Amino acid sequence: MPARLNTNGWKVPATLDQYLNLRMPAGLSPRRPDQALAALDGGWAALHVVHQPTATTVGMGRRLGDGGWYFHVLDMAVLPDHHGRGLGDPGRIADEDP
């Protein structure tokens, strides 16, 4: 099943519903909508991965950083059916331009 990074790269975070729906199936703890909205709004950059044939969001990630040197990759989530395809590879995520 081919999947691709959203063509807008780090400029387009997952929507609130996508963020909430990906967390538990990908092994992350659940969050309330108000917590998720604060996380999405407070990130420095974010991306999501779309499975082209179904237009389903199958992965996501966020970055927090100081805008110059340091950053952290957070909320990395890939649905289990899409594991092993490099979608959550930290090197690939770090190489994407914010």
pLDDT tens for the chain, residues 1 to 98:
455 555 455 567 889 999 999 999 999 999 999 999 999 888 888 888 888 888 888 888 888 888 788 888 888 899 999 888 877 776 655 555 55
What pLDDT does residue 7 have? 41
Its pTM stands at 0.77
Both tokens of 45, joined, read 């950059």
CB 22 within 8 A of CB 14: yes
What proportions of the chain, in percent to the nearest 5, are helix, strand and coil?
A: 30, 30, 40
What pLDDT does residue 1 have? 47
**Domains and their CATH numbers in the chain:** 3-95 (3.40.630.30)
